[in-house]
Amino acid sequence: MNYFVVNKESDFLRGYGEGVCWKDNGITLLPGKEEGVFFSRVFDSQEEGNAWHRFVMEGEGQGLASFSVAFYAFDEQSVFVEGKVRLVPDIIRDPECPLLEKKRLLGPYAQKYVLSPRDCLLHEVKGRYLCFSAELLSQGGRAPFISRMILYFPREDWLKYLPGVYRKEKAGSDFTSRYLGVFQSMYDDMDRRIHGSAGLMNVHAAPAEWLNVIAGWFQIKNIYLWPEDALRRLLKGAPEILGTAGTVQGMLDILKLYTGEEPVLIECGMLKGKKEEQFYTRDPYRCILLVREKYVPGPKEYEALLCLAGQIKPAHMEVRVVLLKQRICLGDYTYLGINSEIGSYRPARLDGGFALAFSAVGKAKRPFKDSAAGTKEEGGDEA
């Protein structure tokens, strides 16, 4: 069975909207509007007298009157308007043609009108070409929202599999066909999901809720810590990346996916002198991760990063996370080419209009402890 789908902004732009807009991957009312109409583009079945099968609409509304759809079907796209021949697609997209005039010109081709058409059969709608108008009505102060619309064709029903006696009387056969259509729709939807199940393995296209299932297969814990885009990147390379979990390189690779940049790792023995003891560590079972502050904008993100680092660190190791501020501070964590920044020279003038933007004298340590991985410290001798 063939089908047309309206689920992208390009589909919306190929039609005509009045009082509606494309927002958050769907069609909704413009701010301040109580009602609106969307005219779809003209769909071509490539067959004269085609009998259309089914229409499915996915969205949210406050009541049955939130949505109503009119279906127009015809075998010729040209219509006579004031003695002139015009094409239906041109009429639909013409911004100079008022909405009421569009409905009047297309009125002779209207074959079905449905209120709240979540899932309806179109067996009586016949014609090579089809377009529809969807009317949206705000109820309870809440605008309706349409995320996807699907047109199935040509008409197929299970009546053809029954003995001919069921098709003798037209009235009886129509009822039987519609009755069987309820179960056929359920079967077709299930069959389509089964055939499309392979797409769930594509981490770039899989629904967000399905990512949790895939992450569970890899024993990834605390999935809520991961932003959706970072989780998709992790799952894409999970077989290789998680194979090195529990090692230093594996920890750095996973944190790079989480923050977007590989952190700087400082271990015991990498630096010599008093600064090693003051700012870093001489404990062989401790390490420090230096992460730019822009990747950890708030306490919530810091706690998440600290928790994640504690889960993927090598065994028996303690991890500290230090946030690198984008500035030069004497006696603090400042690294040339990483977070050091020298602005343009500006001489100080004691004229009452000059102020030092940032200055501090002495030491100010603000410890923040976390039992999962380590301690965050900020401060030092600043100027």
Domain ranges of the chain: 2-156, 203-244, 246-346+353-376
Q: Is pLDDT larger for residue 68 or for residue 349? A: 68
> pLDDT grade, residue 368 (50/70/90)?
very low
Percent of the chain with pLDDT over 70: 81
pLDDT by residue (tens digit) across 26-59?
999 999 999 999 999 999 999 999 999 999 999 9
What's the CA dihedral at 194, 195, 197, 203 to 10 degrees? -160
pLDDT for the residue numbered 11: 92
> pLDDT grade, residue 228 (50/70/90)?
confident
| Mean pLDDT value across residues 277-306 | 78
> pLDDT grade, residue 182 (50/70/90)?
confident
| Mean pLDDT value across residues 56-71 | 88
Three-state SS annotation for 123-138: CCCECCEEEEEEEEEC
| Mean pLDDT value across residues 319-341 | 70
| Mean pLDDT value across residues 357-375 | 47
Eight-state DSSP code of residue 142: B
| Residue 380 in this model has a pLDDT that exceeds 60 | no
For 2-156, CATH gives 2.60.120
Return the bridge partners of 5, or none: 150
Which residue's structure tokens are 């090579």?
Answer: 128
The answer to whether residues 42 and 89 touch, using CB atoms and an 8 Å cutoff, is yes
- Which of 69-83, 196-210, 285-299 ranks highest by mean pLDDT? 69-83
> pLDDT grade, residue 378 (50/70/90)?
very low
Mean of pLDDT over the chain: 81
Cis peptide before 95 (omega within 30 of 0): no
186: helix, strand or coil: helix
| Mean pLDDT value across residues 161-182 | 81
| Residue 236 in this model has a pLDDT that exceeds 60 | yes
| Mean pLDDT value across residues 56-65 | 84
Q: Is pLDDT larger for residue 226 or for residue 377? A: 226
DSSP 255-294: HHHHHSSPPEEEETTSS-SHHHHHHS---TTEEEEEEEGG
